[in-house]
Structure 1
């Protein structure tokens, strides 16, 4: 965990300055996510990075808690919120298992996060705990494509191990869509929407069973 936090701290400024690669897909994700949000909702985003998505969605809900394990990412997010005048959002340094927050929440967001985790079942289980009965887990995750996949994916498979050894890339576990959805279901969620955006899977899942919310 410390090594991962150090990696993201090291690239935080570059990450914050980088442009969104696929704006159409990102806007579609925001549109679909907003359709599930209500003005009275309390929202938790794990792996929020510098808070770009949380800040864009904050006007649709009562309050957002945005967390990330990177202290530098959170610092940048706090500065952005102050600059934009967004007051219904809190930024906290916390890992994906959400140890520092207390729910229950109506919605939990996890965008472009699950493929970076080696403890995904534990994270999904904690997400279940943090949600109210009937609460929503909304995620978007790069997944292992069927067949060879696009050239960019095949190139990444060659280059990634080298970059990881050099400390230039984080841990990545590309799961199949089937495996990802099975893991979500095993932690007490029922999928209510799922669609592909290139190799990324957008999933909305409702808490139907599991641990008491807290």
Structure 2
């Protein structure tokens, strides 16, 4: 078991009870994602956590394969899917780079890309798992955009200390929007929609089509 799997397993009970920080931003991004999906689609979600997004989207697609490296997170997700009657959500425990091969009509990655030290490799894998013309839909906290602000210095000082105390994952990238979008394009995607939800971090919402 990796250090990150242990970390997410440890915090899973608390994470499952926590509220969404910006409900309006989450709902808006969720609605935009829903607008791109069809009833016949097979969808892959990377880093699904406790399955909230997969369950929300399940009624509008044929199937969602929801993956995460934390067994404890997935246990919560399976219980929630059962309670919601979302029988077309299938949970797999694996890293983003070891997800099922597909091919899929869409791949989702919400609040994940800034936690990947192998971002370019994972994005190449996303492209390989998509059908031609398939969609990659992500939302990423771009901490690099607040560089120079008091919030940036708080994050940059706090995260290493939290990591030492076992309260942060092993890797957090202070990525900015330009570098994120360049990496997505390099992996063979055409970006067709972007937005910041929420705007203050920002949480960069991105929809890209495989060329």
Fold match by TM threshold 0.5: yes
Matched residue of 2:179: which SS? helix
Shift of 1:201: 0.6
Unpaired segments of 5 or more residues in structure 2?
none
Per the alignment, in what secondary structure is the counterpart of residue 145 of structure 1? helix
Which position in structure 1 is the counterpart of 2:153? 154
Matching of residue 130 in structure 1 with residue 129 in structure 2? yes
The number of residues matched between the two structures is 206
Per the alignment, residue 39 of structure 1 pairs with 39
Q: Provide, for residues 32-73 of structure 1, a one-character-per-residue CA deviation record: whole Å limited to 9, x for no partner.
A: 001101110000000000000000000110100000000111
Tell me the SS of whatever aligns to 1:132.
strand
Quote the Cα distance in structure 2 between the aligned partners of 1:147 and 1:8: 27
SS in structure 2 of the partner of residue 191 of structure 1 = strand
2:206 counterpart (197, 203, 208): 203
Q: Deviations over 1:54-99 (max 9, x none)?
A: 00000110100000000111111111111111111101101011x2
1:154-208: per-residue Cα shift (whole Å, max 9, x none)?
3212211111122211120121111000101111011000112221110000000
Report the Cα distance in structure 2 between the residues aligned to 1:146 and 1:159, rounded to whole angstroms. 15
Match of 1:21 in 2: 21
Question: How far off its partner does 1:146 sit?
Answer: 5.0
**In 2, distance between residues paired with 1:10 and 1:167?**
9
Aligned to 2:59: 59
> Shift of the alpha carbon at 1:100?
4.5
Unpaired segments ≥5 residues, structure 1? 209-214
Q: In structure 2, what is the Cα distance between the partners aligned to 1:86 and 1:44?
A: 15
Larger mean CA deviation between 152-161 and 118-127 belongs to 152-161
1:190 — aligned with what?
190
After TM superposition, which residue ranges in structure 1, 4 or more long, deviate above 6 angstroms?
A: none
Q: Deviations over 1:97-125 (max 9, x none)?
A: 1x241310000000000001100001001
